[in-house]
Amino acid sequence: MEWLEASTENCPAQRALDVLGEKWTLLILHNAANGVRRFGDFQRHIGLSEAVLSDRLRKLTSAGILETAPYQEPGSRSRNEYRLTHKGWDLWPILMALTQWGEQHARGPEGPVLDIRHTDCDAPVRVVVECSVEHSTLTPGEVTARLGPGARLRS
């Protein structure tokens, strides 16, 4: 069986995009990874409507990507803040890769918005695809994609 003969209904990329494939969802996750936790802060920083933000936060919470934690400002009612779960933090390399691509191909004339560096040595951070054994950086021409045990024939 070849790739074009395989069904896409079991494709992990497609299933991931079912959860993450909206612009606002990725911006919420990008902000959460950079320390934004509260509804009002998400709304002000990203600039999206209350209804859209509520919907996206609800979807990310029900998918187990965000979790809520109660907080209360003095003199105010209790509210929830949103924090990335372990499953959410597993998306961090994807968010970093998107940022890296944006800095290389869609950067504004002012330069980077974030300067992301390794805390220990202060070197810039970059996302790479590497061999799990040799730990060498790979190009697309050095990678072979084979169908796995979950592949099914298209119907």
Per-residue 3-state assignment (H helix, E strand, C coil) for the chain: CCHHHECCCCCHHHHHHHHHCCHHHHHHHHHHHCCCCEHHHHHHHHCCCHHHHHHHHHHHHHCCCEEEEEECCCCCCCEEEEEECHHHHCCHHHHHHHHHHHHHHCCCCCCCCCCCECCCCCCECCCCCECCCCCCECCHHHCCCCCCCCCCECC
pLDDT value, residue 113: 87
Q: Are 45 and 36 in contact (CB under 8 A)?
A: yes
- Quote the pLDDT of residue 42: 97
Query: Can you tell me the distance from the alpha carbon of 119 to that of 27, in angstroms, rounded to the nearest whole number?
Result: 24
> Which segments in the chain show pLDDT lower than 50?
none
pLDDT at position 85, please? 98
What is the model's pLDDT at position 57? 98
pLDDT score at 71: 92
So what's the pLDDT on residue 98? 94
Domains of the chain in sequence order: 3-142 (1.10.10.10)
Q: What is the pTM of this model?
A: 0.87
pLDDT in tens, 54-81: 999 999 999 999 999 999 989 989 999 9
Q: Pull the structure tokens for residue 84.
A: 């990335």
